[in-house]
Structure 1
Amino acid sequence: MTETNDFIVPPRRWAEIGGIADNLRHKLGLAEEPRVPVIEIIERVLDQRLGLVRFEVGSKQEMGRAEGYTCPNGDFIMLREDVYTGVCAGEGRPRFTAAHELGHWAMHTNIPLARARRGDGTPSFRLAEPQANQFAAEFLMPECFIDALDDEDDLIQRFGVSWEAARNRLRYLHKHGRL
């Protein structure tokens, strides 16, 4: 997907997305774990053990600028090879990308999709990409493990995320009076 393209999806409140992420963590037995093994969840649990989704690694040539892709009917989640290598190494940005694709799978499988362009006036709560980003933030950095004294470095260490993801999560929680 290019930077300006998106899809219109059913509207979701950010709190609803947080509930979806928390529910998945709970079903996987990870509700009490600050750092989740996101690639193991996708590859070993959802694919190999449960057979709910096929996990694939795509080449840079095949995927181009797309770091990940989730089949709209939920058949597969694909990560570009360098992203897969990064998430396996525990790098923050690739972990977020994997969680983002997991969010598409959890929220946007088998639903009607309409193309949209960012900046066309469609509110973010109706767009697939912001919804998947919110899911990734909630899934990787649950509010219950964050307190008002935390800074970006605390979240990076605790959750294995990038500085940008940690900054955005803290800003969101402060802005909404949750810290």
Structure 2
Amino acid sequence: MSGPSFIVPPLSWDDIGIRANRIRSLFKLDDAPYLPIMDILEQVLGRYLEGFEFLIGDRTEMDGAEGYTCPSGTFIMLDNDVYIEGCKGNGRARFTAAHELGHLVLHTNIKLARITEHTDVKAYRLTEPQANQFAAEILMPRRHIKRSDTESEIMDRFGVSYEAADNRLRYIRKKQK
């Protein structure tokens, strides 16, 4: 989920939100707060993307990663433990799955530039923050969140972890000021 970042074309968080909403619309999930992310990866994407595969691997073959998306968009692979936990509804695992979908949507077939150790790059130009924002936007759409919501309500409504719910609420409240 949070491996090395690469420099990519800039995207605002609002642009990423628009793309996430388009994916929800494509799957006719605009009005559904809860996104069945595991079903989408496992059963739905292959119908929309010719040649796409959803794979389950182990952390050893994935160099310790929890998830991996092929830069050419041919597959998403989740670590077996992440897959099992995601199917059980674990919020962190669901976020990891949505993060990988974010890489597929945002970073397929684009030029990636490696970051040198001391390079200062804004988050909106980096793969990992962009994929995290996509995961937040697709799992917790803004239109289904009120300023008065609590972390527990967000966790229950969207099937996310406390950390994801807290981050999302802080983002929404800051944006609504």
**TM-score category, normalised to shorter length:** over 0.9
Report the CA distance between 1:124 and its aligned residue: 0.3
For residue 42 of structure 1, report the CA deviation from its aligned partner.
1.1
The 2-side partners of 1:39 and 1:172 are apart by: 25
Instruction: Using structure 2 for the length normalisation, give the TM-score.
Output: 0.94
Q: Are the structure 2 counterparts of residues 2 and 130 from structure 1 closer, same or farther at C-alpha, using a change threshold of 3 Å?
A: closer
Q: Tell me the distance in 1 between the aligned counterparts of 2:141 and 2:13.
A: 13
| 3-state SS of paired residue (2:167) | helix
How many residues in Structure 1 have an aligned counterpart in Structure 2? 176
> How far apart, CA to CA, are the structure 2 residues paired with 1:31 and 1:16?
17
Name the aligned partner's letter for residue 163 of structure 2: E
Residue type of the partner of 1:96?
Answer: F
TM-score between both structures, scaled by the size of structure 1: 0.93
What's the CA shift string for 1:16-55, capped at 9, x where partnerless?
00000001000110001000100111110012x3344210
Distance of aligned partners of 1:36 and 1:61 in 2 relative to their CA distance in 1, 3 Å threshold? same
Partner of 1:91: 90
For structure 2, the residue ranges without an aligned partner over 5 or more in a row are: none
Q: Where does residue 131 of structure 1 map in the other structure?
A: 130
Cross-structure match for 1:25: 24
**Aligned counterpart, 1:68:** 67
| Distance in 2 (alpha carbons) for counterparts of 1:28 and 1:36 | 10
Q: Could you say if the C-alpha distance between residues 151 and 2 of structure 1 is closer, same or farther in structure 2, counting changes exceeding 3 Å?
A: closer
Tell me the distance in 2 between the aligned counterparts of 1:75 and 1:107: 14
Percent of aligned positions that are identical:
52
Report the equivalent of 1:50: 48
Code of the residue aligned with 2:121 in structure 1: it is T
Question: Contact (CA 8 Å) 1:35, 1:140: kept in 2 or not?
Answer: yes
Partner deviation per Cα, 1:55-75 (whole Å, 9 max, x = no partner):
000112212421000000101
Q: Deviations over 1:84-143 (max 9, x none)?
A: 001000100000000000000001000000011576211000000000000000000001
Corresponding residue for residue 108 of structure 2: 109
SS at match of 1:60: coil
CA contact (8 A) 2:69 2:76 kept: yes
- Alignment correspondent of 2:58: 59
Is the Cα contact below 8 Å between 1:2 and 1:65 reproduced in 2?
no
Q: 1:117 to 1:67 in 2, by over 3 A?
A: farther
Aligned-residue RMSD, C-alpha: 1.5
Rounded to whole Å, the distance in 2 between the matches of 1:109 and 1:79 is 17
SS of the counterpart of 2:60? helix
Check conservation: 1:6, 1:118, Cα contact below 8 A: no
**Paired residue type of 1:157:** D
Conserved? CA contact 1:93–1:161, under 8 Å: yes
